[in-house]
Amino acid sequence: MSFTFTTLRETVQDYTQNDEASFVASIGTFVELAEERILKSVQLNEFQKNSSGTMSSGNQYLNVPSDFLAPFSLSITNNSNFEFLMFKDLDYVQTYTPNPATTGVPKYYAQFDVNNLVLAPTPNASFTATLSYFYRPASLTESQLTLTVGATGSFTNGETITGGTSGATTTVTSTGADTTVSWTAENAEIALLYGTLIEASTYMKGEQDVMAMYNSRFAEAISRLKNFGEAQEVSDEYRTGQIRRQKS
């Protein structure tokens, strides 16, 4: 089982028995809030991304990608070998190299601001860098629909179709099926569904017993997801053995 945004929206309407226009229009927001809950509740490989670039010789700063949230690791290629830098507090890095003009092979890095990492010492060459980092994957609400408008193209849900330089207009003659899914919609569908229902019930000021049930089901789904993401996904039975629980 997996959800597209269309099928998830329909399922939420079925559970809540609510098809009021403003509620339906807000379901995309409920889904995004549920995705945020999952993102901040469990560590999954799905939330990890790698990016490679080149450090600038003599520049102590390294720009991070636009979707960067937090670092997992930073390495450089030095004489064809990977060398991993140690992540430190900003004050440690600035104390280690108080004068940015001091250059060498970087050993440490810290987060300077939301857009930059700072290195110590300042690179003395244009090292190739590989940053592994925590990021927010694309939301299920950004799924694509194929529309026929004289020509076929992909458009995001809710996107306004504007004319070209000629100012000509056209009519949408058919809409294709919503087939795009996200990792959570395919592999964490229970957590995504009940997280969305929590937000939907909050919006509707729902009954407390219903809210409690949704929260319980969401917590149960997150527990199973943590077992997958923080145990099974990062180990194997050959070295660590089977995951065992204490007998009750």
At 105 the pLDDT is 96
Domain locations in the chain as residue ranges: 1-45+137-142+178-234, 56-126, 144-176
Exposed/middle/buried for residue 168 (C-beta within 10 Å: 0-12, 13-18, 19+): exposed
Number of neighbouring beta carbons within 10 Å of residue 233: 13
At 1 the pLDDT is 74
pLDDT cut 70: percent of the chain above it: 77
* pLDDT (average), residues 235-247: 58
Separation CA 77–CA 82 (nearest Å): 5
Is the pLDDT at 96 greater than 90? The verdict is yes
Alpha helix positions (H), 183-236? 183-187, 189-204, 208-229
Separation CA 119–CA 92 (nearest Å): 11
* pLDDT (average), residues 216-227: 93
Mean model confidence pLDDT for the chain:
85
At 230 the pLDDT is 75
At 227 the pLDDT is 84
For residue range 148-176, list pLDDT tens digits in order. 555 445 555 555 555 555 555 555 555 66
Is the pLDDT at 199 greater than 90? The verdict is yes
Residues with Cβ within 8 Å of residue 193, at least 6 apart in sequence: 3, 8, 11, 12
Q: Could you give the count of Cα atoms lying within 13 Å of 218 in the half-sphere of its Cβ? A: 20
At 91 the pLDDT is 95
Is the pLDDT at 90 greater than 90? The verdict is yes
